[in-house]
Structure 1
Amino acid sequence: MSAEPLEQPGPEIDLDRVRAEIDQEVRRKRASGELPADLERELDLVFARFAPVDAVLGDFDSVMARVDELTQIDLVAPLDTTNPAVAFVKRAIRKTIRWYLRWVASQVSGLGHALGKAVRLLADRVGALEQAVPPPGGTVAREARLAGGEPDLSEWESLLVALLNDAPGRVVHAEAGHGTLVARLLARGVDAYGVEPVEALAQRADEEGIEVRLDPVAAHLRALTDGVLGGLVLSGCVDRLPPGSLVELAELAAAKLARGGRLVVIGTNPSVWGRERDPIGADLAGGRPIHAQTWRHLLEARGFSDLKVAEAQASEVRLSPVPGSDAGANVINANLERLNELLFPPRAFAVTGVR
């Protein structure tokens, strides 16, 4: 008797890619007018009416409004029967115990209102804290992201290609902007895609046919399976995030990169932050760049090896040496060179490592 052939498992579904394709289709239908805004609002209202609270993906006020609605307990239970005798019994029971249910419901509703008020007071305090210390994904962070424009990463292209060409999996660039670096990596044979938290930039990449997924960087990395990435390039966000978020990125990179995966952190030299970069973006950023040595420390503590630091070219604006070869001129020129190192250091660096 011959054994039946085992059914081969189907290909693994890339849920991130499915979500990206759905988002792309929604944006296309919005732009073409096939999906009117009033229809979207109507669907949202219907969903919010029948969905549980944890499924309502609205803002805080809409969620709290839903909570207020649910604290009003309806004492008139439906009969839900076509049998007259059963309906009579249910109606009699409902009428008999209604006084008791009203007493319980009044206490539960009071508790719900008190908890809702406490949550609103807590939200006011959190809002005040967010104004003082803007969250990484808030409005201020978005303004800082857009103010700086698209950074020029072309000088790192050869280093990235040499490092990522044989990466053991897909490569992610975050933040990718409108996908310039992703397109260059793809053209050089690197299987890459981008992640960008600002919709306008991600949509521009989508219009140019570049795979850039609309997602906050840390949230996207958290959603990935551990050890699934072959390479990770971090830029932009590493200059603006607070220290706690930078440490989280280092931990996520260690978790999501496969064994032998490559990490590249392209950061701005802290001493030139706000001077050679856009001052608006520097002023509005919730954090500041950290030194290459700090990145090396964070990555080494999380198991990365073969850590190296490459520096960009120093600024062309430098103090000119004074003419002459006498002792006085040599002393002055030596001091000028020291001033050049302090005032005009390399504007950026790239820390590379292997998982």
Structure 2
Amino acid sequence: MADVAVPTSAGIGDGTAVSGTLTGDRQGPWQRLLLVLFIAVPSLAVPAAVWIAWGWGVHWRDMVIAAVFYVVTGYGITAGFHRLFTHGSFRARRGLRIALAIAGSMAIEGPVVRWVADHRMHHQFSDRDGDPHSPWRYGTSAWAVAKGLVWAHVGWLFEPVQAPQRRYAPDLLADRDVVRVSRAFPLWVAASLLLPAAFGGLLAMSWQGALTGFFWGGLVRIGVLHHVTWSVNSICHVFGKRQFVSRDRSTNVWWLALPSLGESWHNLHHAEPTSARHGVLRGQLDPSARLIRIWEAIGWASDVRWPDPVRIAARRLP
């Protein structure tokens, strides 16, 4: 990618002010064309799936394939791209680290280094100038927030200037395993689309099974996961409850907790970004934290940053 200058007045990591410019990465025309393709097609598959299910029903085989790939790629994003690679909430053994990088890549939300750089930049400037996807970008009027929600949900993905990877993800660029997985992103895209079709065809022993496996386990699953992930960027900064002190407008949205595998306890996450558990209050289900706990118990994860009850209590709003 070529480098371009991005004006800024904020620092790195702690949000303190500095002067100068950032060197941002610019998307090329082919990248933007592929971005449109991989956003539009799965997104259109979701309403088509409702119509197909209403008219013809869905075979259990396709639902199982879709559910398995949703869980695997979803945890790749939540436990992998987000809690491990972006925030260092725990340390993972090499095999798990590589597996999570691949699983997250198969969600088709971008290569791991790109995803991490964007998200670290979001935390530095959260809901202020410089945030890649704040829904408060245009102001606080009803119309401005409506436009901001669209921007935060999907519009920001088409911004030509992106977070500079060399500044926001130097640790990952120094990790050979992560760089190899990131550079092989087209391979993981192909696997994400073709493996559900292969399983569907083998289970049904027919081309029809391959086609429905591709549709439900590939396109529909990717479309749903995309919009759930993007909802954390948009909905979880406008609607929901603020239960903890944070320097932005992040919220907790209970009804997104299970689809997002625990990511929608977003207010706590912004209050304590490195915490391995986001749902810390009674009844706040956090499947990603539960999975990390299992990995810790069997020795696959270590140095897990579980929430400190004293710090949590200190940040709790009345």
**TM-score bracket relative to the smaller structure:** under 0.3
TM-score (structure 1 length as normaliser) = 0.22
Higher relative contact order (CA 8 A, sep 6+): 2
Of Structure 1 and Structure 2, the greater helix share is in: 2
Of Structure 1 and Structure 2, the greater strand share is in: 1
